[in-house]
Every structure is written in structure tokens, then in C-alpha cells.
Amino acid sequence: MPTPSGSSPHRWRFFRAGGLDQVRLETGADLAHLDQLDPKLWVALACPVKGLDFDEQTLALIDTDNDGRVRAPELLAALGFCRDALKSLDPLVAGSDTLRLDALDEAKPAGKAALASARRVLESIDKADSATIGLAQVVDTRALSTNTRFNGDSIVTAKTAATPELEKLIGEIVAALGGEEDRSGAPGVSQAKLDAFFAELNELEAWSKKAEESAAELLPLGDKTAAAAAAFAAVQAKVDDYFTRCRLAAFDPRAQAPLNRAEAEYAAIADKTLSCAADEVASFPLARVEPGRPLPLVEEVNPGWSARMAALTADAVAPLLGEGQRALTEGQWEELRGKLA
């Protein structure tokens, strides 16, 4: 709480303007004793924070209840704070945006704290030997925070870390979830970001543990499962297409001929130089379509797909369904899907 100005009466000087006698505020002593001035002698007991020829940031700080108006008690409280921190209020009358450090009263707790804060500000901007501190230096929070390990913004950056391990962890969190800028503009993490990171780590650990417990189900071929799954995926759509065509042929025998594609379509490419890699070849059905016919794996396979079918046989069919398979029923295909898809 600011201390009162004291009981000794202060001698005021007045001037007359607009038909009113108004007090002159000319010295630091006038401001220091303003709490002694009878409120009836105040020209106004409140003023707006905005719209005056006065720094709005300063008025906003004085407006402690944030109602958009500075009232007499708030102004007196601000002057009381200054009275508790300064040796004299004369610097306020001077109207300068700089303050000499020796104007702060170390004999008073508020003055001692203000002086310590001022010195920390100057140290943070490499001006520790300065005898004055300016408004611009105090309000530039980014510059103040750049060389400060802990700046009170609840964002932990790499430079905050006490060990290389913690510095690495903060970097990993920023890389994984994105960083949040602290007052100095450096990327860091908040408590919420830290909690989210470790929550995701716990989920990953639980998933990994479940994967280990269900390895036989999730990785039926161990480290060869990936190759089997890739071979399956490479032909999945084409094999599905084949069995769907066979079902349609079983549904209506009239569909069998067109499902195998017209002879004219073969004739259309007959005079071209063909290769197994040609799209025209691969576009034909995987094998001859017949109702209920298993899919051949070796002979009678569309040459545009023979290499991929050979990979399916070697990497997936043989290890999962047994060696020597030369054809694949639709049921066996679905069994493969259940293990690899």
C-alpha cells in the first residue's frame, strides 16, 4: 500500500481560469501532497483512458479496475507508488521519458525493488553501466527477454534448459507439435504443449506394447510381413476385379463373353509392337473369366501382371497358404486380405 504524504500541510498555489480557482501542479511536492487537496478543489474527479493528449498506456496502467476511466483514488494510488519509490516526485514534473537511477530511493522497499528491476532491465540489454533508464527500454519486452533465461511468460525454450538432455527434449517437442513463441520470439513449449507431448508418447508406448503382444497377428511373417503386404497391395485391385467378373459370369452366363473383353479389342492392338509392360496388355482381365474359377497364379495369367503375380505367390501365398499353390480361390484371397490388408 502506498504511504500517505504525511500530516504536515502543504501550501498550494492557485490560478483562476474559466471562472474557477484551480490549483497549480508545478513541483514534485505538489504531486506528492495531492492526497491532501480537498476533492472540492479538483476540477474533475475522473477522466477517460482514451481520447486525451496523454499517453494511453500510462493511463491504462493507472486505471486499475480497467473500467476505461481514471478516477481520483486511482491517480492518488499511482502517485503514492511513485512517492514510495522515488526520493522526490520532481522527475514526474520534468516530463522526461528517462529516469536517473539515483532518483530511486533504496531506503524504501518499493524504491529498492524498483532499482533492482531497473538494473536487471539494463543488464538484459547490455547497458549495466548506464546511470539512466528509459521508457522505451522498459516497454520493449522482446529485447528484455532475449538474454533472460526465465522471463515469466510460461514458455520454456531451449535456452531455459539446465542440461543438454532437456534442451534436446524441448527441441523434439517443438519439432513434433510445433513451438510457441516466448516473449523474446524464441520457439518453446507451454505446460499444455508439454502435457500433450507426453500424452501422445504414452499412447505410442501403449500401441507399441500392444503390437509386441499381438506380433503374431499384426506381423504374421515377422520382418517379411512388409514385403508380403506390398505384394498383396500391388495386385489387390486387379484380383478383386477378377473375382468380381467371375461372380458376374456366374450370375448371368450371358455376361461371360463381354467380361472377357471382345475379340475386336484384341484385334485393335494386334498390329502394334507389344510388351508385357504395355498398358494395353495390362488393361485386359487378369485371367480368363469363368463362373467360380480360381485365379491361376502361374499359367494363363495376363502377361502384363505375371511379374506381380509371381511376387504375390513367392512373398505372400507360399509362406501363408503353403508351397506349391498354383491357383487361388476367392476364399483364400479373402484369407490373405485378412492377414495383410
Residues 218-276 pLDDT 10s: 788 888 999 999 999 999 999 999 999 999 999 999 999 999 998 898 888 888 888 88
Query: Which pLDDT score is estimated for 212?
Result: 74
Tell me what percent of the residues of the chain surpass a pLDDT of 90: 60
Alpha carbon distance 316, 319 (integer Å): 6
What is the Rg, in whole angstroms, of the alpha carbon atoms belonging to the chain?
A: 42
Average pLDDT, the chain: 89
Contacts of 214 (CB under 8 A, 6+ apart): none
Report yes or no on 122 lying in a domain: no
Query: Which pLDDT score is estimated for 218?
Result: 74
Q: Is residue 68's pLDDT more than 80?
A: yes
* Phi, psi angles (nearest 5°) of residue 102: -75, 0
Query: Which pLDDT score is estimated for 19?
Result: 86
Q: Give the per-residue SS3 of 128-178.
A: CCCCEEEHHHHHCHHHHHHCCCCCCCCCEEHHHCCCHHHHHHHHHHHHHHC
Report yes or no on 130 lying in a domain: no
Tell me what percent of the residues of the chain surpass a pLDDT of 70: 94
Which of 9-13, 161-165, 184-188, 291-295 shows the lowest per-residue confidence on average (mean pLDDT)?
A: 184-188
- Distances in Å between the alpha carbon of 186 and those of 121, 122, 147, 192? 19, 20, 11, 17
Closest residue by Cα to residue 242 from 326, 174, 328, 181: 328
The amino acid that residue 185 corresponds to is G
Residues 90 and 56 in one domain: yes
Helix (H, G, I), strand (E, B) or coil at 5: coil
pLDDT band at 288; cut points 50, 70, 90: very high
Query: Which pLDDT score is estimated for 271?
Result: 84
The number of residues making up the chain comes to 341
CB-based burial, 106-133: b 16+ in 10 Å, e otherwise: eebebbeebbeebbebbebeeeeebeeb
Query: Which pLDDT score is estimated for 222?
Result: 85
Report yes or no on 277 lying in a domain: yes
Query: Which pLDDT score is estimated for 268?
Result: 87
Residues 254 and 308 in one domain: yes
Alpha carbon distance 73, 67 (integer Å): 14
Q: pTM for the full model?
A: 0.47
Burial of 287 (0-12, 13-18, 19+ CB in 10 A): buried
Query: Which pLDDT score is estimated for 86?
Result: 95
Residues 171 and 281 in one domain: no
pLDDT band at 2; cut points 50, 70, 90: low
Alpha carbon distance 118, 138 (integer Å): 8
Residues 9 and 43 in one domain: yes
Residues of the chain by 3-state class (helix, strand, coil), percent to 5: 55, 10, 35
Report yes or no on 141 lying in a domain: no
Residues 40 and 7 in one domain: yes
Residues 240 and 324 in one domain: yes
Residues 237 and 295 in one domain: yes
Q: Is residue 322's pLDDT more than 70?
A: yes
Average pLDDT over residues 87-109: 93
Residues 268 and 237 in one domain: yes
Query: Which pLDDT score is estimated for 99?
Result: 92
Report yes or no on 109 lying in a domain: no
Which of 105-119, 164-178, 296-310 shows the lowest per-residue confidence on average (mean pLDDT)?
A: 164-178
Alpha carbon distance 222, 146 (integer Å): 52
Residues 199 and 244 in one domain: no
Helix (H, G, I), strand (E, B) or coil at 95: coil
The amino acid that residue 313 corresponds to is T
Residue 36: DSSP 8-state: G
Residues 241 and 305 in one domain: yes
Q: Which three cell numbers mark 220? A: 504374421
**Domain end residue (candidates: 67, 95, 123):** 95
Which of 115-119, 124-128, 183-187, 219-223 shows the lowest per-residue confidence on average (mean pLDDT)?
A: 183-187
Report yes or no on 265 lying in a domain: yes
Q: Is residue 210's pLDDT more than 90?
A: no
Query: Which pLDDT score is estimated for 238?
Result: 95
Q: Give the tens place of pLDDT for each residue, 133-157.
A: 988 888 776 666 566 666 667 788 8
Query: Which pLDDT score is estimated for 145?
Result: 58
Q: Which residue range is the domain that position 229 belongs to?
A: 222-340
Query: Which pLDDT score is estimated for 42?
Result: 92
Tally the C-alpha atoms within 13 A of residue 131's C-alpha that lie toward its C-beta: 3
- The count of structural domains within the chain is 3
**Domain end residue (candidates: 95, 110, 134):** 95
Report yes or no on 21 lying in a domain: yes
Residues 228 and 336 in one domain: yes
Which of 34-43, 122-131, 178-187, 220-229 shows the lowest per-residue confidence on average (mean pLDDT)?
A: 178-187
Report yes or no on 217 lying in a domain: no
> Strand 20-23 vs strand 14-17: parallel, antiparallel, or unpaired?
antiparallel
Query: Which pLDDT score is estimated for 47?
Result: 95
Query: Which pLDDT score is estimated for 18?
Result: 83
Residues 188 and 260 in one domain: no
Query: Which pLDDT score is estimated for 102?
Result: 95
Residue with cell 481514471: 70
DSSP track, 259-325:
HT--HHHHHHHHTS---TT-HHHHTS-SB---TTPPEESSTTB-TTTHHHHHHHIIIIIHHHH-TT-
